[in-house]
Amino acid sequence: MKKRPDAKGKPKKKKVFSGRRSKFCKFCVEKSVLIDYKDIKTLQGFTPERGKVLPRRTSGVCANHQRMLVESIKRARNIALLPFATD
């Protein structure tokens, strides 16, 4: 069986698996998980050693949960549960 040509007359190429896993929002998958400023273990997972907040493209969190996550991290920093920066 021949491969069907595309619009330009060339045969279609097979898609090659790139090896990347698609990212998903941890908070959307586990609907019972709340983002709280008192939950330090969860918040530390989204801040690297330097203390910055991981961006959405790195962490895989959706936009709504990223906003809540950033707000919770800022609140935890203000009451000294998380550091602003490290030495």
Domain-located, residue 52: yes
Query: Which CATH number does the domain housing residue 43 bear?
Result: 4.10.640.10
User: Which of 8-17, 25-34, 77-86 has the least mean pLDDT?
Assistant: 8-17
Structural domain range at position 69: 26-78
Q: Number of structural domains, the chain?
A: 1
pLDDT tens-digit map of 25-38: 889 998 877 899 99
Classify residue 6: in a domain, yes or no: no
pLDDT of 53 higher than 90: yes
77: left (phi over 0), alpha (psi -120 to 50) or beta: alpha
- The rounded distance, in Å, linking the Cα atoms of 26 and 5 is 41
> What is this structure's pTM?
0.72
Phi/psi of residue 11, each to 5°? -70, 145
Residue 87 lies inside a defined structural domain of this protein: no
